[in-house]
Amino acid sequence: MWAPTLIAALVTLGYTRASDKFPDGFLMGCGTASYQVEGAWNEDGKGENIWDHMFHEHPEYGTNGDNGDVACDSYHKYKEDVQMLKALNVDVYRFSISWPRILPTGDVDIINQPGIDYYNNLINELLDNGIQPMVTMYHWDLPQALQYIGGWTNGLMADYFVEYARVLFENFGDRVKWWITFNEPAMVVQGYASKYRAPSQPSPGVGDYLAAHTLLRAHGRVYRLYHQQYRAAQNGSVGISLDVQGSAPLTNSTEDVVAADRYQQFEAGHFAHPIFSQEGDYPAVMRQRVDANSKREGRPRSRLPTFTQEEVKYIRGSADFFGLNHYWTDFVTDEVNVTSPSKADDTGATAVRNGEYLTELQQAVNIDKVPVIGYIAWSLMDNLEWTEGFTRKFGLYEVDFKSPNRTRTAKDSAAFMAKIFLSKKIPEDDGCLS
Protein backbone atom coordinates (compact mmCIF):
# COMPACT_ATOMS: atom_id res chain seq x y z
CA MET A 1 0.00 0.00 0.00
CA TRP A 2 1.19 3.54 -0.61
CA ALA A 3 0.04 6.39 1.52
CA PRO A 4 1.55 9.79 0.84
CA THR A 5 0.69 11.13 4.25
CA LEU A 6 -1.41 10.17 7.18
CA ILE A 7 -3.75 12.02 9.46
CA ALA A 8 -4.41 10.02 12.56
CA ALA A 9 -7.37 10.28 14.88
CA LEU A 10 -7.51 8.59 18.24
CA VAL A 11 -10.53 8.52 20.43
CA THR A 12 -9.06 8.86 23.92
CA LEU A 13 -5.60 9.07 25.34
CA GLY A 14 -3.91 6.06 26.74
CA TYR A 15 -0.72 5.84 28.76
CA THR A 16 2.03 8.08 27.45
CA ARG A 17 5.79 8.25 28.06
CA ALA A 18 8.39 10.99 27.72
CA SER A 19 9.79 11.35 24.23
CA ASP A 20 10.68 13.76 21.46
CA LYS A 21 8.73 16.57 19.90
CA PHE A 22 6.49 16.07 16.95
CA PRO A 23 8.11 17.64 13.88
CA ASP A 24 7.62 21.28 12.90
CA GLY A 25 4.42 21.83 10.98
CA PHE A 26 2.78 18.75 12.49
CA LEU A 27 -0.93 19.59 12.65
CA MET A 28 -2.76 18.98 15.90
CA GLY A 29 -6.36 19.51 16.80
CA CYS A 30 -9.64 17.87 17.56
CA GLY A 31 -12.77 16.85 15.76
CA THR A 32 -16.56 16.68 15.84
CA ALA A 33 -19.33 15.77 13.42
CA SER A 34 -22.46 17.66 12.43
CA TYR A 35 -25.14 15.30 13.74
CA GLN A 36 -23.24 14.71 16.96
CA VAL A 37 -22.92 18.38 17.94
CA GLU A 38 -25.00 20.81 15.89
CA GLY A 39 -28.60 20.26 16.98
CA ALA A 40 -31.04 22.68 15.28
CA TRP A 41 -32.27 19.61 13.45
CA ASN A 42 -35.16 21.39 11.73
CA GLU A 43 -34.13 25.03 11.86
CA ASP A 44 -33.56 27.53 9.08
CA GLY A 45 -34.53 25.21 6.24
CA LYS A 46 -32.45 22.15 7.14
CA GLY A 47 -33.84 18.91 5.72
CA GLU A 48 -34.29 15.71 7.70
CA ASN A 49 -31.35 13.32 7.77
CA ILE A 50 -31.36 9.55 8.21
CA TRP A 51 -30.40 9.77 11.90
CA ASP A 52 -33.18 12.31 12.61
CA HIS A 53 -35.54 9.95 10.88
CA MET A 54 -34.41 6.78 12.62
CA PHE A 55 -34.38 8.24 16.12
CA HIS A 56 -37.74 9.96 15.66
CA GLU A 57 -39.33 6.76 14.35
CA HIS A 58 -37.47 4.42 16.68
CA PRO A 59 -36.21 6.11 19.84
CA GLU A 60 -35.76 2.60 21.25
CA TYR A 61 -32.83 2.02 18.87
CA GLY A 62 -30.90 4.61 20.86
CA THR A 63 -30.15 5.07 24.56
CA ASN A 64 -32.49 6.91 26.97
CA GLY A 65 -34.32 8.42 23.99
CA ASP A 66 -31.23 10.56 23.26
CA ASN A 67 -30.95 12.04 19.78
CA GLY A 68 -29.30 14.88 17.91
CA ASP A 69 -32.26 17.29 17.92
CA VAL A 70 -30.33 19.70 20.15
CA ALA A 71 -27.10 17.78 20.92
CA CYS A 72 -24.42 20.35 21.94
CA ASP A 73 -26.35 23.13 20.18
CA SER A 74 -23.25 24.06 18.22
CA TYR A 75 -25.43 25.55 15.50
CA HIS A 76 -26.04 28.40 17.94
CA LYS A 77 -22.88 28.15 20.01
CA TYR A 78 -20.18 27.83 17.36
CA LYS A 79 -18.42 30.99 18.53
CA GLU A 80 -18.01 29.50 21.97
CA ASP A 81 -16.73 26.28 20.39
CA VAL A 82 -14.09 28.26 18.53
CA GLN A 83 -12.99 29.92 21.78
CA MET A 84 -12.65 26.47 23.35
CA LEU A 85 -10.52 25.38 20.39
CA LYS A 86 -8.39 28.46 20.80
CA ALA A 87 -7.88 27.74 24.49
CA LEU A 88 -6.71 24.26 23.45
CA ASN A 89 -4.05 25.77 21.17
CA VAL A 90 -5.18 23.65 18.21
CA ASP A 91 -3.83 24.19 14.71
CA VAL A 92 -6.82 22.59 13.09
CA TYR A 93 -10.50 21.83 13.75
CA ARG A 94 -12.06 18.91 11.98
CA PHE A 95 -15.84 19.24 11.64
CA SER A 96 -18.36 17.88 9.18
CA ILE A 97 -20.93 19.55 7.00
CA SER A 98 -24.52 18.41 7.24
CA TRP A 99 -25.56 17.65 3.67
CA PRO A 100 -29.29 18.33 4.31
CA ARG A 101 -28.51 21.64 6.01
CA ILE A 102 -27.06 22.79 2.70
CA LEU A 103 -29.26 20.73 0.34
CA PRO A 104 -32.51 19.85 2.14
CA THR A 105 -33.69 17.50 -0.64
CA GLY A 106 -30.20 16.09 -1.14
CA ASP A 107 -30.25 17.50 -4.68
CA VAL A 108 -29.18 20.90 -5.92
CA ASP A 109 -32.74 22.02 -6.71
CA ILE A 110 -32.73 23.86 -3.37
CA ILE A 111 -29.59 25.43 -1.95
CA ASN A 112 -30.34 26.51 1.59
CA GLN A 113 -28.65 29.86 2.11
CA PRO A 114 -28.84 29.84 5.94
CA GLY A 115 -26.94 26.53 5.84
CA ILE A 116 -24.25 28.04 3.64
CA ASP A 117 -24.15 31.07 5.96
CA TYR A 118 -23.68 28.89 9.04
CA TYR A 119 -20.61 27.12 7.64
CA ASN A 120 -19.22 30.36 6.24
CA ASN A 121 -19.51 31.90 9.69
CA LEU A 122 -17.87 28.92 11.35
CA ILE A 123 -15.02 28.82 8.83
CA ASN A 124 -14.43 32.56 9.08
CA GLU A 125 -14.52 32.46 12.87
CA LEU A 126 -11.92 29.67 12.86
CA LEU A 127 -9.63 31.51 10.46
CA ASP A 128 -9.98 34.75 12.43
CA ASN A 129 -8.71 32.79 15.43
CA GLY A 130 -5.80 31.24 13.57
CA ILE A 131 -7.34 27.76 13.26
CA GLN A 132 -7.41 25.82 9.99
CA PRO A 133 -10.72 24.21 9.03
CA MET A 134 -10.60 20.55 8.03
CA VAL A 135 -13.95 19.55 6.57
CA THR A 136 -15.55 16.13 6.40
CA MET A 137 -18.13 16.15 3.63
CA TYR A 138 -20.02 13.15 4.91
CA HIS A 139 -20.07 12.01 8.50
CA TRP A 140 -23.08 9.71 8.24
CA ASP A 141 -26.03 12.14 8.00
CA LEU A 142 -27.50 11.45 4.57
CA PRO A 143 -30.53 13.52 3.58
CA GLN A 144 -33.56 11.30 4.26
CA ALA A 145 -34.93 12.36 0.86
CA LEU A 146 -32.08 10.40 -0.73
CA GLN A 147 -32.71 7.38 1.47
CA TYR A 148 -36.24 7.25 0.04
CA ILE A 149 -34.58 6.39 -3.28
CA GLY A 150 -32.33 3.73 -1.79
CA GLY A 151 -29.58 5.76 -0.18
CA TRP A 152 -26.06 4.45 -0.79
CA THR A 153 -27.32 1.19 -2.28
CA ASN A 154 -28.46 3.27 -5.27
CA GLY A 155 -25.47 3.73 -7.59
CA LEU A 156 -26.84 7.13 -8.65
CA MET A 157 -25.90 8.44 -5.22
CA ALA A 158 -22.37 8.92 -6.58
CA ASP A 159 -23.81 11.59 -8.92
CA TYR A 160 -25.66 13.27 -6.07
CA PHE A 161 -22.49 13.30 -3.97
CA VAL A 162 -20.50 14.88 -6.79
CA GLU A 163 -23.07 17.68 -7.10
CA TYR A 164 -23.07 18.23 -3.34
CA ALA A 165 -19.26 18.33 -3.33
CA ARG A 166 -19.29 20.89 -6.11
CA VAL A 167 -21.48 23.15 -3.95
CA LEU A 168 -18.97 22.79 -1.10
CA PHE A 169 -15.92 23.54 -3.26
CA GLU A 170 -17.67 26.54 -4.83
CA ASN A 171 -18.78 28.03 -1.53
CA PHE A 172 -15.99 27.13 0.87
CA GLY A 173 -13.00 26.00 -1.19
CA ASP A 174 -11.39 29.43 -1.19
CA ARG A 175 -10.77 28.97 2.56
CA VAL A 176 -10.94 25.20 3.22
CA LYS A 177 -7.71 23.43 2.28
CA TRP A 178 -8.37 20.07 3.89
CA TRP A 179 -11.23 17.95 2.60
CA ILE A 180 -12.23 14.48 3.78
CA THR A 181 -14.85 12.91 1.53
CA PHE A 182 -16.13 10.21 3.88
CA ASN A 183 -15.66 9.46 7.53
CA GLU A 184 -15.40 5.73 8.13
CA PRO A 185 -17.28 4.27 5.19
CA ALA A 186 -17.17 0.88 6.92
CA MET A 187 -19.45 2.32 9.60
CA VAL A 188 -21.67 4.04 7.04
CA VAL A 189 -22.48 0.76 5.34
CA GLN A 190 -23.47 -0.90 8.58
CA GLY A 191 -26.71 1.06 8.24
CA TYR A 192 -27.48 -1.32 5.37
CA ALA A 193 -26.61 -4.41 7.44
CA SER A 194 -28.10 -3.65 10.85
CA LYS A 195 -31.29 -1.98 11.97
CA TYR A 196 -29.46 -0.18 14.79
CA ARG A 197 -27.57 2.19 12.55
CA ALA A 198 -29.23 4.71 10.25
CA PRO A 199 -30.80 4.31 7.76
CA SER A 200 -31.77 1.08 9.49
CA GLN A 201 -32.12 -1.00 6.33
CA PRO A 202 -30.82 -4.44 7.29
CA SER A 203 -29.66 -6.44 4.30
CA PRO A 204 -26.43 -7.96 5.63
CA GLY A 205 -23.94 -9.27 3.12
CA VAL A 206 -25.84 -7.64 0.26
CA GLY A 207 -26.86 -4.03 0.97
CA ASP A 208 -23.63 -3.22 2.82
CA TYR A 209 -21.49 -4.36 -0.14
CA LEU A 210 -23.66 -2.39 -2.56
CA ALA A 211 -23.46 0.74 -0.41
CA ALA A 212 -19.67 0.39 -0.09
CA HIS A 213 -19.39 0.12 -3.85
CA THR A 214 -21.26 3.38 -4.36
CA LEU A 215 -19.24 5.15 -1.65
CA LEU A 216 -15.97 4.17 -3.31
CA ARG A 217 -17.19 5.39 -6.70
CA ALA A 218 -18.47 8.62 -5.13
CA HIS A 219 -15.16 9.19 -3.35
CA GLY A 220 -13.10 8.59 -6.50
CA ARG A 221 -15.24 10.92 -8.56
CA VAL A 222 -15.11 13.76 -6.04
CA TYR A 223 -11.34 13.43 -5.79
CA ARG A 224 -11.05 13.67 -9.59
CA LEU A 225 -13.51 16.57 -9.70
CA TYR A 226 -11.39 18.54 -7.25
CA HIS A 227 -8.17 17.83 -9.06
CA GLN A 228 -9.59 18.60 -12.49
CA GLN A 229 -11.59 21.69 -11.65
CA TYR A 230 -10.63 23.23 -8.32
CA ARG A 231 -7.16 22.27 -7.20
CA ALA A 232 -5.29 24.72 -9.41
CA ALA A 233 -7.19 27.68 -7.98
CA GLN A 234 -7.85 26.44 -4.46
CA ASN A 235 -4.71 24.44 -3.75
CA GLY A 236 -6.18 22.10 -1.15
CA SER A 237 -5.95 18.38 -0.45
CA VAL A 238 -8.63 15.70 -0.61
CA GLY A 239 -8.50 12.44 1.32
CA ILE A 240 -10.69 9.95 3.13
CA SER A 241 -10.84 8.74 6.75
CA LEU A 242 -10.92 5.01 7.26
CA ASP A 243 -11.31 3.21 10.55
CA VAL A 244 -8.28 0.98 10.78
CA GLN A 245 -7.79 -1.03 13.93
CA GLY A 246 -4.87 -3.29 14.60
CA SER A 247 -5.47 -6.92 13.69
CA ALA A 248 -3.30 -9.44 15.51
CA PRO A 249 -3.69 -13.23 15.71
CA LEU A 250 -5.16 -14.44 19.00
CA THR A 251 -2.80 -17.44 19.04
CA ASN A 252 0.25 -18.26 16.93
CA SER A 253 -1.61 -21.00 15.08
CA THR A 254 -1.35 -20.71 11.30
CA GLU A 255 -5.14 -20.52 11.13
CA ASP A 256 -5.26 -17.47 13.41
CA VAL A 257 -2.36 -15.77 11.61
CA VAL A 258 -4.14 -16.17 8.29
CA ALA A 259 -7.47 -15.16 9.86
CA ALA A 260 -5.96 -11.93 11.25
CA ASP A 261 -4.72 -10.96 7.81
CA ARG A 262 -8.02 -11.88 6.20
CA TYR A 263 -9.88 -9.87 8.86
CA GLN A 264 -7.79 -6.79 8.04
CA GLN A 265 -8.41 -7.26 4.31
CA PHE A 266 -12.17 -7.36 4.89
CA GLU A 267 -12.14 -4.45 7.37
CA ALA A 268 -9.62 -1.80 6.29
CA GLY A 269 -8.86 -3.43 2.93
CA HIS A 270 -12.45 -3.19 1.72
CA PHE A 271 -11.91 0.57 1.30
CA ALA A 272 -8.14 0.99 1.49
CA HIS A 273 -7.22 -1.52 -1.21
CA PRO A 274 -9.26 0.05 -4.04
CA ILE A 275 -7.80 3.49 -3.20
CA PHE A 276 -4.28 2.93 -1.87
CA SER A 277 -2.96 -0.32 -3.38
CA GLN A 278 -0.91 -0.37 -6.57
CA GLU A 279 -3.38 -2.60 -8.39
CA GLY A 280 -6.62 -1.11 -7.07
CA ASP A 281 -9.95 -2.95 -6.78
CA TYR A 282 -11.12 -5.06 -3.82
CA PRO A 283 -8.65 -7.32 -2.01
CA ALA A 284 -8.31 -10.65 -3.81
CA VAL A 285 -9.36 -12.61 -0.73
CA MET A 286 -12.64 -10.68 -0.55
CA ARG A 287 -13.36 -11.23 -4.20
CA GLN A 288 -12.64 -14.92 -3.92
CA ARG A 289 -14.59 -15.62 -0.72
CA VAL A 290 -17.68 -13.57 -1.45
CA ASP A 291 -17.88 -14.92 -5.01
CA ALA A 292 -17.54 -18.50 -3.74
CA ASN A 293 -20.08 -18.03 -0.95
CA SER A 294 -22.56 -16.38 -3.32
CA LYS A 295 -22.22 -19.30 -5.72
CA ARG A 296 -22.69 -21.82 -2.94
CA GLU A 297 -25.86 -19.97 -1.93
CA GLY A 298 -27.19 -20.53 -5.47
CA ARG A 299 -27.07 -16.87 -6.50
CA PRO A 300 -26.63 -15.93 -10.15
CA ARG A 301 -24.29 -13.07 -9.21
CA SER A 302 -21.80 -12.28 -6.49
CA ARG A 303 -23.05 -10.25 -3.55
CA LEU A 304 -19.82 -8.22 -3.97
CA PRO A 305 -20.32 -5.93 -6.99
CA THR A 306 -17.67 -5.53 -9.69
CA PHE A 307 -15.94 -2.31 -10.72
CA THR A 308 -15.46 -1.50 -14.40
CA GLN A 309 -11.84 -1.01 -15.49
CA GLU A 310 -12.48 2.70 -15.69
CA GLU A 311 -13.76 2.75 -12.11
CA VAL A 312 -10.76 0.79 -10.83
CA LYS A 313 -8.58 3.39 -12.48
CA TYR A 314 -10.19 6.54 -11.16
CA ILE A 315 -10.56 5.15 -7.63
CA ARG A 316 -6.94 3.96 -7.44
CA GLY A 317 -4.71 6.72 -6.07
CA SER A 318 -7.66 9.00 -5.31
CA ALA A 319 -6.30 10.46 -2.06
CA ASP A 320 -3.77 13.12 -1.16
CA PHE A 321 -3.68 11.75 2.39
CA PHE A 322 -4.91 8.73 4.30
CA GLY A 323 -7.03 9.70 7.31
CA LEU A 324 -6.52 6.85 9.73
CA ASN A 325 -9.02 6.58 12.58
CA HIS A 326 -7.56 4.21 15.11
CA TYR A 327 -8.90 3.11 18.49
CA TRP A 328 -7.79 -0.39 19.40
CA THR A 329 -6.27 -3.66 18.26
CA ASP A 330 -8.41 -6.68 17.50
CA PHE A 331 -7.11 -10.12 18.43
CA VAL A 332 -8.47 -12.39 15.77
CA THR A 333 -9.25 -16.08 15.67
CA ASP A 334 -10.21 -18.36 12.81
CA GLU A 335 -13.68 -19.11 14.14
CA VAL A 336 -17.01 -17.72 13.26
CA ASN A 337 -20.52 -18.29 14.42
CA VAL A 338 -22.73 -15.65 12.85
CA THR A 339 -25.73 -15.44 10.57
CA SER A 340 -25.25 -15.99 6.87
CA PRO A 341 -25.13 -14.22 4.52
CA SER A 342 -23.15 -11.46 6.19
CA LYS A 343 -19.83 -9.77 5.82
CA ALA A 344 -18.74 -11.34 9.13
CA ASP A 345 -19.52 -14.79 7.76
CA ASP A 346 -17.70 -14.03 4.49
CA THR A 347 -14.70 -12.87 6.57
CA GLY A 348 -14.65 -16.13 8.52
CA ALA A 349 -12.90 -14.66 11.57
CA THR A 350 -13.85 -13.32 15.00
CA ALA A 351 -12.25 -10.40 16.88
CA VAL A 352 -11.44 -9.79 20.62
CA ARG A 353 -10.53 -6.20 21.61
CA ASN A 354 -7.79 -4.13 23.29
CA GLY A 355 -5.74 -0.84 23.08
CA GLU A 356 -5.21 2.98 22.59
CA TYR A 357 -2.08 5.27 22.59
CA LEU A 358 -0.38 8.53 21.54
CA THR A 359 3.30 7.96 22.25
CA GLU A 360 3.29 5.17 19.68
CA LEU A 361 2.18 7.69 17.09
CA GLN A 362 5.04 9.99 17.95
CA GLN A 363 7.50 7.11 17.72
CA ALA A 364 6.08 6.11 14.36
CA VAL A 365 6.86 9.65 13.18
CA ASN A 366 10.23 10.16 14.84
CA ILE A 367 11.71 6.68 14.80
CA ASP A 368 10.01 4.82 11.96
CA LYS A 369 9.78 7.97 9.83
CA VAL A 370 6.18 7.33 8.85
CA PRO A 371 5.04 10.51 7.05
CA VAL A 372 2.23 11.42 9.43
CA ILE A 373 1.17 15.03 8.96
CA GLY A 374 -1.20 15.46 11.87
CA TYR A 375 -3.20 14.14 14.75
CA ILE A 376 -6.84 14.91 15.49
CA ALA A 377 -8.23 13.87 18.86
CA TRP A 378 -11.81 12.73 19.14
CA SER A 379 -13.43 14.88 20.44
CA LEU A 380 -13.60 18.59 21.24
CA MET A 381 -16.53 18.01 23.59
CA ASP A 382 -18.84 15.30 24.83
CA ASN A 383 -21.48 14.72 22.21
CA LEU A 384 -24.09 12.31 20.88
CA GLU A 385 -22.33 8.98 20.54
CA TRP A 386 -24.87 7.69 18.00
CA THR A 387 -27.00 4.88 19.47
CA GLU A 388 -25.10 5.13 22.74
CA GLY A 389 -26.57 8.58 23.24
CA PHE A 390 -24.91 10.97 25.68
CA THR A 391 -23.55 8.16 27.83
CA ARG A 392 -20.05 8.11 26.32
CA LYS A 393 -17.83 11.03 27.34
CA PHE A 394 -15.06 11.39 24.78
CA GLY A 395 -14.81 15.18 24.96
CA LEU A 396 -11.97 17.37 26.19
CA TYR A 397 -14.83 19.57 27.35
CA GLU A 398 -17.77 18.29 29.32
CA VAL A 399 -21.21 19.37 28.15
CA ASP A 400 -24.15 19.64 30.53
CA PHE A 401 -26.89 18.10 28.41
CA LYS A 402 -29.49 18.90 31.07
CA SER A 403 -28.95 22.65 30.88
CA PRO A 404 -30.76 24.50 28.08
CA ASN A 405 -27.51 26.38 27.62
CA ARG A 406 -25.53 23.16 27.03
CA THR A 407 -22.85 24.58 29.33
CA ARG A 408 -19.32 23.50 28.42
CA THR A 409 -16.64 22.91 31.08
CA ALA A 410 -13.01 22.08 30.44
CA LYS A 411 -11.92 18.68 31.80
CA ASP A 412 -8.41 17.98 33.12
CA SER A 413 -7.68 16.38 29.76
CA ALA A 414 -8.28 19.77 28.08
CA ALA A 415 -5.40 21.35 30.02
CA PHE A 416 -3.24 18.30 29.35
CA MET A 417 -3.91 18.38 25.62
CA ALA A 418 -3.59 22.17 25.41
CA LYS A 419 0.02 21.74 26.59
CA ILE A 420 0.71 19.06 24.00
CA PHE A 421 -0.94 21.04 21.22
CA LEU A 422 1.16 24.08 22.10
CA SER A 423 4.51 22.39 22.71
CA LYS A 424 4.03 19.48 20.25
CA LYS A 425 5.58 17.42 23.02
CA ILE A 426 4.24 14.70 25.28
CA PRO A 427 4.99 15.89 28.83
CA GLU A 428 7.41 13.91 30.97
CA ASP A 429 5.10 13.94 33.99
CA ASP A 430 2.47 12.19 31.92
CA GLY A 431 -0.30 10.05 33.23
CA CYS A 432 -3.21 7.89 32.36
CA LEU A 433 -6.15 9.84 31.02
CA SER A 434 -9.51 8.83 29.74
Who's near 317: CB < 8 A, 6+ residues apart? 275, 276, 280
| CA pair distance 271, 117, nearest whole angstrom | 33
**DSSP one-letter string for 214-268:** HHHHHHHHHHHHIIIIIHHHH--EEEEEEE--EEEESSSSHHHHHHHHHHHHHHT
> Considering only residues 1-30, where is the footprint of ligand BGC by CB under 6 A?
11
> Considering only residues 298-327, where is the footprint of ligand BGC by CB under 6 A?
325
DSSP 331: E
Could you tell me the smallest distance in angstroms from the CB atom of residue 325 to ligand BGC?
4
Among 7, 10, 27, 33, indicate the residue that binds ligand BGC (CB under 6 A). 33
Tell me if 211 contacts ligand BGC by CB under 6 A: no
Query: Which lies closer to ligand BGC via its Cβ, residue 144 or residue 183?
Result: 183
Who's near 151: CB < 8 A, 6+ residues apart? 50, 142, 157, 191, 192, 199, 201, 211
Cβ atoms 217, 315 nearer than 8 A: yes
Number of residues near ligand BGC (by CB under 6 A): 9
> Considering only residues 376-395, where is the footprint of ligand BGC by CB under 6 A?
378, 385, 394
DSSP 152: G
Query: Which lies closer to ligand BGC via its Cβ, residue 345 or residue 385?
Result: 385
Residue nearest to ligand BGC as judged by C-beta position:
325
**Inter-CA distances, 18 with 29, 259, 396, Å:** 20, 35, 21
**Inter-CA distances, 304 with 283, 367, 384, Å:** 11, 40, 33
Query: Which lies closer to ligand BGC via its Cβ, residue 184 or residue 346?
Result: 184
> Considering only residues 130-159, where is the footprint of ligand BGC by CB under 6 A?
none
Query: Which lies closer to ligand BGC via its Cβ, residue 94 or residue 289?
Result: 94
Among 171, 183, 294, 413, indicate the residue that binds ligand BGC (CB under 6 A). 183
Could you tell me the smallest distance in angstroms from the CB atom of residue 51 to ligand BGC?
11
Query: Which lies closer to ligand BGC via its Cβ, residue 139 or residue 408?
Result: 139
Interface residues with ligand BGC (CB under 6 A) are: 11, 33, 36, 183-184, 325, 378, 385, 394
